[in-house]
Every structure is written in C-alpha cells, then in structure tokens.
Structure 1
C-alpha cells in the first residue's frame, strides 16, 4: 500500500478556505484583524461568531466555498488514485476544519477516495459554526499548538504501507517532510513556503516540486510498480 497525505488549502484546493470564507462578510471582512497571541483557531472562532451576528447561514458559506477550484492537475491525480484505490490510502492533514473540507470533498466528488481526514472539528449549532482544536501539541516545537502533522503521518502509516507521498505547500508541512524516509517522496507546491524551506533544509526523502499536480502521477505510478 502507498500512503498519500495531502494538505488541503493551496494544495488540494487553489486557495485558502479560512480566507475565502471571509467573502460572506462583504465589506465588513476588512475590519477583522488576526491577533497572533490568541492563535489561528481562536481567530477563526471569532470570525464564525461574527458571521452568526451578520446573519450568515450555512448555505451562504457553502456558496462561497464552492467558488474555490481544485489546483491545476489535481483532478488528474485523483483519477489516478481512484484507478488504483485498492493499493492507495489517502489521508488529508489540514489546519482548515472538518465542515469546510467535507463540503468541498463532496462538491468535487472525491470524498469516496479519502480514507481519513485529520483537521480541526467543526459543527453547526443553529447558525453558529463551532470550532475546536484538532489536538493540543505539547511535544513538537516546529508545529502550531493545535496540530503536528508528523504525528498524523506516523499514526496513518500502518505496517502495510510501503512508501509515503506527502503533498503540501505550507510551513506546517515541513515537519512531516523532515521525518520522511529515503524511499518516501515529498511533493511541495512550487512558489510556496514549503518549497522555499526545502531549498535550505536537508531531507532523506526525494523531493518532487510541482505547479501542476499531474506531475506527481508518474512518481505515484513508480511507487505502485515497486510495491
């Protein structure tokens, strides 16, 4: 089995769900400022409170989220995965939230090929989207307080996994990539922070940069032929 781990924002979708959702607030979104002292999850909680106060409904959020598109070539990569799904385990590790991701996986009709989603839990209470931290990270200094993606990869890599392909873009994807093995592959999106950081850090795994996710297909097929 091959384990493929995807980040979500700027990786699966060509944009950031947490930023995109601000469009539901119209002109009022410009008044919302991020306070780094409270952390990103708390920041999003406050945004959802503001959304409720402004009368934003789940349907309004769905409409805005559906304006996001899959990144270039991602549809081709997912079709390749679907064709060999019996040999591939698909995991999403994202600092977005469970409701956003569920909406978009259903919208893009790829929910059926995703085996696990590791993200911040979110559920509706009337018209308020309640958000919780995925976990409390007390051990990893590289990762944010709510999530260490190395831990997610480690827990997902069961004994039957012969190789890991990690597809991401952001700074919080560096930790799991550093911990990959020689036989694994890191696939950072070109022009984003993970790709730039990997230019300065030595890793054991192979590195395949992409601007079109279809480029990853050849490397996936090689892993499948070896496994």
Structure 2
C-alpha cells in the first residue's frame, strides 16, 4: 500500500452530473420535484420522489437503467484505476445514496477499487420501492455542524476516517458546498482537490487561510487524472513506484503528456 487515502465525492466528481436530478429528470418527474423542493430537506425529498415514482409504476429496473446511462468523463475511470494500481486506499464520501452509487460503480466496473462507500442509505423495501434515508438521522439528533445539510456532515465522517488511519496522506476530491467542511479537517500533510468554479472551490478561495491542506484545483476528468496521478506519484517514494507499478507509471505519464483525450461521453 502507498500510505495514501484518496476520498472521492461522487456527483459532479466521479460522474459529471447530480445523480438525484438525473434520475428525476430521466423518469419524467421534474415538475413534481420542483413543486416539492421548497417544502422539505433534499434527502427527504428524494425519498418522497422514489415513493411517487413507485406509484407511477416505475420499477427498480427502470431506475437502474437510468443510472447506467449517467454521463462520465472518459478519463475518470482510468484515473481511479491508476490510483488503485498505485496502492492507494480509495473511498467514496457522498451525499447521494448507496443504491445509486453501488449501481453505477458496478456498471462501470470499478466497485472493487473502493474499500468503503460513505453515503446515505438507499435500499429496496419489501414493496419493491427504493427508500432513501439520511446518513445522520436528523429527526432524532442534530450533528451540530452549521456548514452541512442536516442529513450528513462530511467533516465528521472525515474525522472518523482520520481516527482509523495512522500516518497516511489524504487526497480529497469534491465539488459541492458540502465538501467544504471536510476540507477544513484536512492536515498540512493532506491535499484538497476542489473542482474549479464549483461551490467548494469558491468557498476555499474566499477562506484560503482556513485550510491547512495543499489545494490543487481541477477542471474536468482529464485534469482530475493529471493532478491526481501527479500528487500520488510525488507523494510515494519513487522506489515503490518502480517496484510495484513500473509499467503503469511509464504509461500514465506518456498518456498524460502526449495523448489527446476525448470529450465527455455518455456511458452506454
């Protein structure tokens, strides 16, 4: 192992869209979603939308087929596989839900690259209906963080991860406002990779002095791959890279330096 933990947000980081909006729009429920949006927290709204879609006759198979069509930049999967091959411990930390993430990662053939998925519970109940529940049960208690939505404080999850890993560097990739709280938990030995011109990047730019971690922005999947692989390979020893992944190392840098990468496409 490289001694590096790479933590990925999911929506607009691994995939190029918000999975909740994608499912709602693709299944024709956008109008109802917009009507209900002002009335309840997002996480509760998504659970309600799954109930409504079930009543409309939409099946779990329908939802799975929509999820398998999510747009993803073509360099994201190679980036994840490269990080995994270089010995990193990869994890997901997302405010989506377990059903969406597991379905998509398995479809993309990269589920085995991740040791852990931290997200809101998502499961099929006995009626064949998808249920989406909060990670933190805010109906019972508050997580107490005013930076995060009531259902999930990513900062508290980062603290739990930090307590279980010793002397390891963390590389955190994210885009949304919910990724700002965990960025504040990173140490000077860690790296924060915010997506440029997205909410977490804007928050970091306004409050740069509050972060201890080095900040390395990225724009798209091609940029994500370049920055992530560079951070990993400069953090671990060159001897370890040569011993374990010599061929991959040479290929990655040749690819990043010379190959013209394609534009984002939809996964069939």
Into which bin does the TM-score normalised by the smaller protein fall?
A: over 0.9
RMSD of Structure 2 on Structure 1 (CA): 1.8
Q: Could you say which residue in structure 1 is the equivalent of 2:233?
A: 221
- CA distance in 1 between counterparts of 2:85 and 2:33 reads 44
CA shift digits 1:67-101 (9 cap, x unpaired): 1133353122112122123xx21111111110000
Q: Could you say which residue in structure 2 is the equivalent of 1:152?
A: 157
CA shift digits 1:128-150 (9 cap, x unpaired): 11121111442211111111111
TM-score (norm 1): 0.92
Aligned residues: 224
CA shift digits 1:29-55 (9 cap, x unpaired): 223224345211111011001110111
- CA distance in 1 between counterparts of 2:143 and 2:95 reads 17
Between Structure 1 and Structure 2, the one with more helix by share is 2
- CA distance in 1 between counterparts of 2:42 and 2:73 reads 24
Q: Could you say which residue in structure 2 is the equivalent of 1:77?
A: 79
- CA distance in 2 between counterparts of 1:161 and 1:17 reads 34
Residue in structure 2 matching 1:167, options 146, 156, 173: 173
Q: Could you say which residue in structure 2 is the equivalent of 1:112?
A: 112
Q: Which runs of 5+ in 1 are unaligned?
A: none
- CA distance in 2 between counterparts of 1:31 and 1:149 reads 29
- CA distance in 1 between counterparts of 2:198 and 2:124 reads 32
- CA distance in 1 between counterparts of 2:104 and 2:27 reads 20
- Contact (CA 8 Å) 2:175, 2:201: kept in 1 or not? yes
Q: Could you say which residue in structure 2 is the equivalent of 1:3?
A: 5
Residue in structure 2 matching 1:199, options 205, 225, 232: 205
- Contact (CA 8 Å) 1:140, 1:148: kept in 2 or not? yes
Are 1:96 and 2:96 counterparts? yes
**What's the CA shift for 1:196?**
1.2
- CA distance in 2 between counterparts of 1:68 and 1:208 reads 26
- Contact (CA 8 Å) 1:56, 1:127: kept in 2 or not? no
CA shift digits 1:185-220 (9 cap, x unpaired): 000111211111111112111100011211221011
Q: Could you say which residue in structure 2 is the equivalent of 1:124?
A: 124
- Contact (CA 8 Å) 2:158, 2:185: kept in 1 or not? no
TM-score (norm 2): 0.79
Q: Could you say which residue in structure 1 is the equivalent of 2:265?
A: none
More displaced stretch, 88-97 vs 132-141? 132-141
When Rg is computed on C-alpha atoms for both structures, the one with the higher figure is: 2
Q: Could you say which residue in structure 1 is the equivalent of 2:261?
A: none
Describe the shift of the 1:71–1:195 C-alpha distance in structure 2 as closer, same or farther (beyond 3 A): farther
